[in-house]
Structure 1
Amino acid sequence: MKLKKVLALTLAACMVCTSMVACSKNDNKTQGNDTNTSQEGNKEEKPGATTGGKKVLSVTTWDNDTSPQFQAIIDAYEAKNTDVEIKVIDTASDEYNNSLGISLSAAQSDPDIIWVKDMGSMLQMVDKNQLLQIDDFIKADNLDLSVYSGGAEQLQYNGASYALPYRSDWYVLYYNKDLFDAAGVEYPSNDMTWQEYYELAAKLTSGEGSAKVYGGHNHTWQALVTNWAVQDGQHTVVEKDYSFLKKWYEEALSLQENGYIQDYATLKTANIHYSSVFKNQQCAMMPMGTWFISIMMQSQTSGETNFNWGIARIPHPENTESGYTVGALTPIAISKNTDEPELSWDFVKFAASKEAAEILAQQGVFTGIQTETSLKTISSAEFFPEGASNVEALTYTNYFFDRPLDPKIEEIRQVLNEVHEMIMIKSYSIDDGLAELTKRVSDIKGWN
């Protein structure tokens, strides 16, 4: 059987349901509000013990039913280790950090293994002594950290390691080829400025009312504005002065006012998820993370969507070259309270291995280890968009974190989100909003 068919079957087998998927089921991240396995249920099958003669490990996931990134690795590990059973503690994406925080505060043996959703939350867990330091494991196994291309070192906190890079995501531009073809407009290139993107969004906007097609789409996250302001590496979202964001908010509001993107208030009020907008062909282009590739591949495998789509490098500011992008790592860590530290490390080591990278590549998922083989695997899948430009779109020359590793980042993100909303619904002027952002972040950091 050809590789493309094998990969397509793998994707289809991996899906538990064909409902709408995304990085979150709710507005804030991916879709999916159901919880497969309750924490209480897992507690009955543990402590530390065995189920039917098998050793038991518990892992935390979010939206596990609708994403291939976790279950594929869990299944592969169980297949290699038939004496181990993995219990999944699954939570909806936008509830994940809060639920995990409550669980860890209780100092229970479950969970053993933690997939960390936000790097900032990892720092908070370390500060609360909730994560197991893994340097001794790394040393004992002589683990080669160079395979993570600096990612493992970037995750170190106060000189110690508490996690390994599990997956890596960065922003690219998704576009609907059929809509471009119908409009007689050339596809986005891999070397396009943001100004050129705005001009394309104007050209691709058509129709009225429920039949309207928007040239672009910005989801409600503040990252869909602030990312482009930090894309050149000159700033981060933790600054003493946020006036550098003004240009980008002006552009976002202009797109909204001209009707080239859906307005923020409508998206927020109706809880419209970005995946539905793109899948329903309501927009021609959408900046989004590489995680959406696997979601679209699944959608095409199941027959949920059947239009032609492609990807390009994310547009870049005028003062930078093509290949600058913004992204983040997903770490995998071990709870300080695990009663299976060695077995937990074995799972973490496998999940962050080259072998796991190849498994996830079959699902269109990028890992903390980038290899030519994994790139070829992803681009060879049946429902990966055809054409060399789509493969080139996956490459980058400069990769900056969308948020720095700062112990206060979660508090700062809350302020960023609040001010972002007020600017986008025009309750604040841009200048007033950025002044408030500067003051509140300075208060958090103690800079005043």
Structure 2
Amino acid sequence: MKLRKFTVLSLAATMAMGMFTGCASTQTAQTGNVETANQTQTADKKEEPKAQENVTLKVSTWDLAANPGITSSVKAFEEQNPNIKVEIIDIASADYTQKLSVMLNGGSELDAFWIKDADTTKSLFDKGQIADLKAYIEKDSIDLEAYNGLANNFTMPSGEIVGLPARTDYYVLYYNKDIFDAAGVSYPSNDMTWEEFEETAKKITTGEGADKKYGALIHTWQACVANWGVQDGKHTIMDTDYTFLKPYYEMVLRMQNDDKTIMDYATLKTGNIHYSSPFLTGNVGMMPMGSWFMTTIISKIQAGESSVNWGVATLPHANDVEAGYTVGSATPLVMNAATDKQDATWEFIKFMTGEECTKLYAEAGAIPGRSNQEALQAIANLEGMPEGVLEALAVKNISFDRPMADKVAEVNGMMGEEHSMIMLGEASVDEGLATMAERSKEIQGK
């Protein structure tokens, strides 16, 4: 996977969830194909300009209530484009990708949609369900560099541009200040290594049974091991040799089986324990997780459902990886290839991924695709954000957890299966990684 540069213009060198900005001017919204600014005129007389048609766009997203930046951005778009109304189709997060596929396969009237799992973008495009935006982008001179390299992930090998990044999220390290204070241990720095993470977990683990405070939590997703292997940008999950993951599996298994500093995988899986619960109840000292979790913590505290005294630091890194390198993804907004309202849909996409919405998303606690120092500062200024969050979010590089490639979803699913075998002790690290390699080759036809 190629290295994705995400450089913030000050501080330590951009995360944060969880974004969309409008351009200063909008184009005339029409149904049908792109029209030129100057309409064709007859030789005898000018045609009277046509009134803007009223258009209603249908757009799908997930968990709308948890993403207030979308609501405020849509409202701003409608105010600036009074002839265009936006109907949001809200789908539960757990069902979104499957229901979106069913809708598109069934000839849905969707005009645009956010893609939850970015690794499905290419397959949707290959099925003819996503429109190429390149002509619109060139026509309106959209500067793709404003997306800090994230837009490159949605450019096909053949040159089509299939979406623009609305927001981004990346992994950071959450920690419980009270647990650190009780143990007399300094809070994690923005230059913590994975070795220091493992050692620190030993120092802050206390108690037994129901009263135990774990030094850390590693969630059950295979990404919560594999991501640390792709953090340097030299590998991806599409490799067919997974020995680069061995140090991270060995670390997590030591923490689980020997040191007992993390909750064991079997307990988390069989109990269907969501990562948020142990952290919000104050039972874990550290947890690597996505930036999207910040607003959840704030909302739970404000609702009186948690009293966790939390902080956030930059994701730990390997000894040979520079501090400020992390792993994440981008959420693209795309156009349904079947829409008959292309121009109006483009105006919506352009606005929602433009500068104005960058501010609106940041003010809602989400990291926009066009993230910059001003956006990160707006996030840091949110009520309930801990001290130091601005520096923690100012990362230097984001490697994508799942690159846009053929069969990536299948490979990711396979890795999850083999991950379970390793974590449950049903296969050694070497055996599990060897099986991953064999199955990856089969899936990719190599």
Q: TM-score, normalised by structure 2?
A: 0.85
> 1:316 offset after TM fit, Å?
0.5
Larger % of helix: which? Answer: 1
1:26 corresponds in structure 2 to: none
2:25 corresponds in structure 1 to: none
Are the counterparts in 1 of residues 57 and 345 from structure 2 also a CA contact under 8 Å? yes
Q: Distance in 2 between matches of 1:68 and 1:274?
A: 22
Q: Please give the residue correspondences for 1:94-133 in structure 2 after superposition, counting only pairs within 5 Å.
A: 94-109=94-109, 111-133=110-132
SS in 2 for 1:88: strand
> 1:69 offset after TM fit, Å?
4.5
1:76 corresponds in structure 2 to: 76
2:429 corresponds in structure 1 to: 430
Q: Distance in 2 between matches of 1:212 and 1:355?
A: 47
> 1:421 offset after TM fit, Å?
1.2
2:189 corresponds in structure 1 to: 189
Q: Distance in 2 between matches of 1:441 and 1:55?
A: 46
Are the counterparts in 2 of residues 168 and 366 from structure 1 also a CA contact under 8 Å? yes
CA deviation string 1:143-175 (max 9, x = no partner): 222211222223101211010011111111011
Q: Distance in 2 between matches of 1:123 and 1:78?
A: 30
Are the counterparts in 1 of residues 84 and 344 from structure 2 also a CA contact under 8 Å? no
2:254 corresponds in structure 1 to: 254
SS in 1 for 2:55: strand
Are the counterparts in 1 of residues 67 and 364 from structure 2 also a CA contact under 8 Å? no
> 1:72 offset after TM fit, Å?
3.2
2:403 corresponds in structure 1 to: 404
> 1:330 offset after TM fit, Å?
0.8
Change (3 A) 1:321 1:81: same
Q: Distance in 1 between matches of 2:244 and 2:141?
A: 44
Q: Determine whether 1:268 maps to 2:276.
A: no
Change (3 A) 1:221 1:68: farther
Change (3 A) 1:54 1:269: farther
Instruction: Report which structure shows greater RCO (CA 8 Å, sep ≥6).
Output: 2
Deviates most, 294-303 or 223-232: 294-303
2:9 corresponds in structure 1 to: none
SS in 2 for 1:215: strand
1:7 corresponds in structure 2 to: none
Q: Distance in 1 between matches of 2:308 and 2:290?
A: 20
> 1:398 offset after TM fit, Å?
2.3
1:390 corresponds in structure 2 to: 389
Q: Distance in 1 between matches of 2:291 and 2:64?
A: 18
Tell me which amino acid in the other structure corresponds to 1:97: T
Amino-acid identity (%): 42
Q: Please give the residue correspondences for 1:185-264 in structure 2 after superposition, counting only pairs within 5 Å.
A: 185-257=185-257, 258-264=259-265
Q: Distance in 1 between matches of 2:209 and 2:91?
A: 36
- Structure 1 unaligned segments of length 5 or more: list them: 1-21, 24-46
Are the counterparts in 2 of residues 58 and 88 from structure 1 also a CA contact under 8 Å? yes
1:5 corresponds in structure 2 to: none
2:337 corresponds in structure 1 to: 336
2:293 corresponds in structure 1 to: 292
Are the counterparts in 2 of residues 297 and 364 from structure 1 also a CA contact under 8 Å? no
Tell me which amino acid in the other structure corresponds to 1:187: Y
Deviates most, 398-407 or 64-73: 64-73
1:313 corresponds in structure 2 to: 314
Q: Determine whether 1:170 maps to 2:143.
A: no
Change (3 A) 1:54 1:179: farther
Q: Distance in 2 between matches of 1:214 and 1:77?
A: 46
Tell me which amino acid in the other structure corresponds to 1:253: L
1:13 corresponds in structure 2 to: none
Q: TM-score, normalised by structure 1?
A: 0.84
Change (3 A) 1:227 1:280: same
1:421 corresponds in structure 2 to: 420
Change (3 A) 1:256 1:144: same
Q: Please give the residue correspondences for 1:436-447 in structure 2 after superposition, counting only pairs within 5 Å.
A: 436-447=435-446
Q: Distance in 2 between matches of 1:376 and 1:156?
A: 30
Are the counterparts in 2 of residues 67 and 295 from structure 1 also a CA contact under 8 Å? no
SS in 2 for 1:426: coil
SS in 2 for 1:195: helix
Q: Determine whether 1:67 maps to 2:95.
A: no
CA deviation string 1:298-332 (max 9, x = no partner): 22333333332111111110112211111111111
Tell me which amino acid in the other structure corresponds to 2:371: Q
SS in 2 for 1:284: strand
Q: Distance in 2 between matches of 1:60 and 1:108?
A: 11
What is the aligned length? 396
Q: Distance in 1 between matches of 2:269 and 2:339?
A: 39
Q: Distance in 2 between matches of 1:343 and 1:303?
A: 42
SS in 2 for 1:165: strand
Q: Distance in 2 between matches of 1:295 and 1:74?
A: 22
SS in 1 for 2:320: coil
Deviates most, 151-160 or 188-197: 151-160
1:146 corresponds in structure 2 to: 145
CA deviation string 1:175-228 (max 9, x = no partner): 111221122211001111101001111111112222221110111111100011
Change (3 A) 1:75 1:274: farther
Are the counterparts in 1 of residues 121 and 404 from structure 2 also a CA contact under 8 Å? no
Q: Distance in 1 between matches of 2:315 and 2:132?
A: 36
Tell me which amino acid in the other structure corresponds to 2:418: V
Tell me which amino acid in the other structure corresponds to 1:436: T
Greater Rg over alpha carbons, structure: 2
Q: Determine whether 1:160 maps to 2:160.
A: yes
SS in 2 for 1:418: helix
Tell me which amino acid in the other structure corresponds to 2:363: Q
Tell me which amino acid in the other structure corresponds to 1:289: G
